[in-house]
Structure 1
Amino acid sequence: MMFVNKFKLLIILSLIVFTGNAQDNMTSEKLPFYEIPEAPETYTAGTVAARMIDGLGFRYFWSTEGLTEKDLNHKCSESGRTSAETIEHIYGLSKFIRNAVLSHDKDLDIEVIGFEAQRMQTLLNLKLVSDLLRDTENPINLEETEVPFWNIINGPIADATWHCGQIVMLRRASGNPFNSKVSVFAGKLKA
């Protein structure tokens, strides 16, 4: 029970920090995944899975950082998705990942929210899952997730990573290229 309360408090604090008027004054450094966290000292199923989520979060953070209305509305073909539609899809994937991994504190919100709120909540969903997977004191049993964890890897995690690349391509096509200082290998900005 203490484990559940600890993470409910984390969510509440995150929402207080990241919502309301604070959103207008928010800087990128305050959102999760501006940089990938330090690597854990041990390899476990949970720490490896958490690192996969960290990589996705980092790519998502930087693929969506600084998007303009023009970027959000851009699509390369009549049948293709806009960046905004792709971001909405990734938001849904982040909710699926969260809800499949967590046995409590599901994100069942169906309210339609705008780009900034979707971006923030996607990053918070991924951060929550990453932190829970990395927790070696109260490890999540990956054999007891709502759907097989293998399917979470090759399904929504891989799909969301794929779509981050599409956002990068779309933003280039709309004239706002991906930040060249981002090192996905190092998980931080190059000096």
Structure 2
Amino acid sequence: MKNTIVIIALVISAMCYAQDTSEEKLPYYEVPEYSKEFTAGTMAARMVDGLGFRFYWASEGLTEKDLNYRPSKDVRSSEDTIDHILDLSYIIVNSTLKQPNSRVDKSKMTYEEKRKQALMNLKTAAEILRGSDDISQYKIIFGENEIPFWNQVNGPIADAIWHCGQLASFRRITGNPINPNVNHFTGKVKEAKD
């Protein structure tokens, strides 16, 4: 009987491990290694990578309480802030894909789906920027208006970083702070000491 219980426990553990390892890993658990050379494309990509890392950890493991939190009725909730960051991530990726911006219906998306999509948008944009010799070609397109890449830096990228800070503050208030092993300076996660 004892052996049967041990075998069942091992099978369940193996199934759980297989499920964990087969799930798609989201980008930006850590910031990717930096490029060997400095170019406009590698610098812009690194800014987007930094945003991705900050968003990953600011939005990781949020509870219903975290998502609903708002400091006052006139302020976005954390979930509303995630919606806004997702919108900004679409502006960033659409410019690198040379596509015009349009409204995206997020009403049926879960928090996890919004988070994943924002991270994937940022990863796609960073990869395109990293491989580019001329980032001036990546304009923000709203209808007939084409706005230069410069506005991407002080606009959507900086704005999304700002809002990641809000998420980090809000989750601290609700008692769910960011993992203390996250090092924003190095873009790495320290191994937890037992």
The reply on whether 1:115 has 2:111 as its aligned counterpart is yes
3-state DSSP class of the match of 1:41? coil
What is the 5 A alignment of 1:58-137? Answer: 58-103=53-98, 109-112=104-107, 113-135=109-131
Q: Output the CA distance in 2 between the equivalents of 1:103 and 1:59.
A: 25
Deviations along 1:140-159, one digit per CA (max 9) or x if unpaired, are 63222222111000000000
2:136 equivalent in structure 1: 143
Higher Cα Rg, which structure: 2
Alignment correspondent of 1:53: 48
Among all aligned residue pairs of Structure 1 and Structure 2, give the percentage whose two residues are the same amino acid.
48
Runs of 4+ in 1 over 3 A off after TM superposition: 24-29, 104-109
User: Does the 8 Å CA contact 2:39/2:133 hold for their aligned counterparts?
Assistant: no
AA aligned to 1:156 is P
Amino acid at match of 2:79: A
Aligned partner letter, 1:132: I
Check conservation: 2:40, 2:134, Cα contact below 8 A: no
- Partner of 1:30, secondary structure, is coil
What is the alpha-carbon distance in structure 2 between the residues aligned to residue 126 and residue 102 of structure 1? 12
Q: Distance in 2 between matches of 1:107 and 1:26?
A: 35
Q: Paired residue for 1:39?
A: 34
Q: State whether structure 2 residue 154 is matched by structure 1 residue 161.
A: no
RMSD: 2.3
Give the match's secondary structure for 2:35.
coil
What is the CA–CA distance in structure 1 between the aligned matches of 2:172 and 2:160, rounded to whole Å? 19
Number of aligned residue pairs: 165
The answer to whether the Cα contact below 8 Å between 2:40 and 2:133 also exists between their aligned partners in 1 is: no
Q: Distance in 2 between matches of 1:140 and 1:129?
A: 14
Query: Contact 1:132 / 1:140 at 8 angstroms: preserved in 2?
Result: no
Mark the runs of 5 or more structure 1 residues left unpaired by the alignment: 1-23
**Residues 120-140 of structure 1, C-alpha deviation per residue, up to 9 Å, x if partnerless?**
0000000000011112xxx26
* 1:102 positional shift: 1.5
Cα shift readout 1:20-51 (whole Å, capped 9, x = no counterpart) = xxxx9689981000010001000000000000
Question: 1:161 and 1:28, CA in 2 relative to 1: closer, same or farther beyond 3 A?
Answer: farther
User: In structure 1, the residue corresponding to 2:85 is in which secondary structure?
Assistant: helix
TM-score normalised over the length of structure 2:
0.79
Aligned partners of 1:40 and 1:132: how far apart in 2?
13
